Amino acid sequence: MLYHNMKVYLVEDKVLDFSSTFCSLPFNHAFVGPGGEQKPCSRFLRPLINYDDYEGTMNELRHYKMTGQRHPGCRKCYEEEDAGRTRSLRQIYNNVSGFNYDIVHDVDPNNPKVTWLELSFSNRCNLKCRMCGPFYSTTWFEDWAEVPEYAFGVAGVGNTREAVNKFLAVNKKKPITFDVTTLDKYIPDLRMVKLTGGEPFLIPEYDYILEKVHEIGHAENMWLDYSTNLTVRPKKRLLELWSKYKQIKFATSLDGIGKVIEYQRNPTKWETVDTVMNDLMQIPNAWVGVRTTQTIYNILDMPNIAMYFAELEDKYHKTHSHVNAFGEDSWLNFVCASTPEFVSITVLPKWAKDIVAERLAWSAPTQKIQDNFDHIVNYMYNEDNSHRLPQFVDYTKKLDKLRGESFAEVVPEFAGLLNEV
């Protein structure tokens, strides 16, 4: 599909703006999810994809992006932007600067070409986070049968205890598999690979991709972008491979300090998180940042997360000539969970939202982060999903009982939520 009479992008423009709703991802990117399932991006709403005609879905999406229309599959980014956020995923990947430059500076809408991959095809993981499920974590199999109506399950398995137990009897804790060699066709054109999971430090297929890129002598021109849960120390061979690449980004899932992250990301241990975070900060070609998933469970810990990271970056910044002390350019990004919907901060009743707003007011170490806090507060107030509170309470009580944990002890400010239904 050709798009004529569109604005020609100039390098000095800084932002790709072929239309008001343009997003670079449908033109230069491929997302590969569990089992090899493709999506236009990690956030795109799966029910709106026609897998019998996937290319047709992509062409429709590209048309929307080039003609200034909002595609319903991109709802998450537009909701964030409408709440005042200026760094939705769409906006981030339209920005031509920093690590983005290599993958977006020459995007050609008339000639889509995959120059970066986002891989999330394995659910091999060592955690069972409360906002996750067996679709993305094999460790979640342990608790799945107790909350089948709530857990983000594996495709084709019903949301009943009987259906889950039948699946587990056959599959045990076996991760979803994928023939990674089908991605070989993309390797010569790749400039970046984003590796999520599961937990990417535990997924051997990802190491295959890194070895193949290194084998063809392309590593020194490539970025790697990891999302890690900070509970696995990288192996020696992985450290050796990383040294061959242009730069490594680590988006760390620092979802709280101490007992807060241990609760949200069971069975995390804070001591391990702190150790791995310090390890990553000392890798010479690494850029370490924080990408926190905000839920009802950890929203009040945001200032603590920001202060911990600020202290850590100040500790190590002199080790890296390309990293400044903690400041406006530091990579600290708070993202509100949208699934499962009942853990979203928009589910909170007004009295609880007011506590959040008071906690986050003027509590950030920089203005940029305070702007992020303010956006989250706006997003929280813009929607009222308190009708889902009974689901949150039921789910939380069941997991607390199963795991021997206590929401009221971890978040005493919100203890009253458990008595509202």
pLDDT tens across 68-82, in order?
Answer: 999 999 998 998 888
Q: How far apart are CA 242 and CA 150, in angstroms?
A: 38
Q: How far apart are CA 338 and CA 345, in angstroms?
A: 9
Indicate the pLDDT class of residue 325, thresholds 50, 70 and 90.
low
Provide the token pair at 400: 């607390």
Res 62 pLDDT > 90: yes
Asked if residue 214 lies in contact with residue 241, where contact means CB atoms within 8 angstroms, the answer is yes
CB-CB neighbours of 418 under 10 Å: 16
Q: How far apart are CA 394 and CA 372, in angstroms?
A: 30
Can you give the pLDDT at residue 177? 81
Q: How far apart are CA 115 and CA 186, in angstroms?
A: 8
Which percentage of the chain shows pLDDT scores above 70? 95
C-alpha angle 201-206-209 in degrees, rounded to nearest 5: 145
Distances in whole angstroms, Cα of residue 315 to Cα of each of 232, 258, 301, 323, 325 = 22, 20, 21, 12, 8
Can you give the pLDDT at residue 46? 85
Name the residue range of residue 67's domain.
11-103
Res 3 pLDDT > 70: no
Summarize the confidence of residues 83-95 as an average pLDDT. 86
Structure-derived torsion over alpha carbons of residues 13, 25, 284, 274, reported in degrees to the nearest 10: 120
Summarize the confidence of residues 133-161 as an average pLDDT. 92
Q: Residue holding tokens 């343009």? A: 22
- Of the listed ranges 166-175, 249-258, 404-413, the least confidently predicted one is 166-175
> 186 Cβ partners below 8 Å, 6+ apart?
30, 114, 117
For the chain, give the longest Cα–Cα distance.
62
- Of the listed ranges 44-58, 183-197, 312-326, the least confidently predicted one is 312-326
Residue 195 lies in a domain: no
Q: Is the torsion defined by CA of 311, 265, 45, 376 positive or negative?
A: negative
Beta bridge partners of 291: 333
Indicate the pLDDT class of residue 10, thresholds 50, 70 and 90.
very low
CA 390, distance to chain mean position in Å, is 26
Res 173 pLDDT > 90: no
Residue 399 lies in a domain: no
SS3 category, 305? helix
Q: How far apart are CA 93 and CA 23, in angstroms?
A: 7
Indicate the pLDDT class of residue 11, thresholds 50, 70 and 90.
very low
Indicate the pLDDT class of residue 4, thresholds 50, 70 and 90.
very low
Can you give the pLDDT at residue 318? 58
Residue 36 lies in a domain: yes
C-alpha angle 181-187-192 in degrees, rounded to nearest 5: 120
Q: How far apart are CA 198 and CA 98, in angstroms?
A: 27
Q: How far apart are CA 138 and CA 144, in angstroms?
A: 10
Can you give the pLDDT at residue 420? 82
Indicate the pLDDT class of residue 250, thresholds 50, 70 and 90.
very high
Res 9 pLDDT > 80: no
User: Residue 400: exposed, middle, or buried by beta-carbon count in 10 A (0-12, 13-18, 19+)?
Assistant: middle
Q: How far apart are CA 136 and CA 364, in angstroms?
A: 31
Residue 16 lies in a domain: yes
Asked if residue 352 lies in contact with residue 389, where contact means CB atoms within 8 angstroms, the answer is no
Q: Computed over its alpha carbons, how large is the radius of gyration of the chain?
A: 21
Q: How far apart are CA 356 and CA 144, in angstroms?
A: 30
Residue 25 lies in a domain: yes
Residue 119 lies in a domain: no
Residue 321 lies in a domain: no
Can you give the pLDDT at residue 7? 37
Residue 87 lies in a domain: yes
What sections of 236-349 are H helices per DSSP? Answer: 236-242, 259-264, 270-281, 302-316
Report residue 70: phi and psi, to 5°: -90, 115
> Measuring CA to CA, which residue among 129, 135, 147 is closest to residue 402?
147
**Count of the separate structural domains present in the chain:** 1
| One-letter identity of residue 330 | S
- Of 101-115, 294-308, 365-379, the range with the highest mean pLDDT is 294-308
Q: Is the torsion defined by CA of 82, 84, 85, 90 positive or negative?
A: positive
Q: How far apart are the first and last CA of the chain?
A: 53
Per DSSP (E only), the strands in 165-314 are 192-195, 223-228, 247-252, 286-294
Summarize the confidence of residues 6-13 as an average pLDDT. 38
- Of the listed ranges 325-329, 334-338, 395-399, the least confidently predicted one is 325-329
Mean pLDDT, the chain, integer: 90
Report residue 332: phi and psi, to 5°: -140, 110
Q: How far apart are CA 353 and CA 355, in angstroms?
A: 5
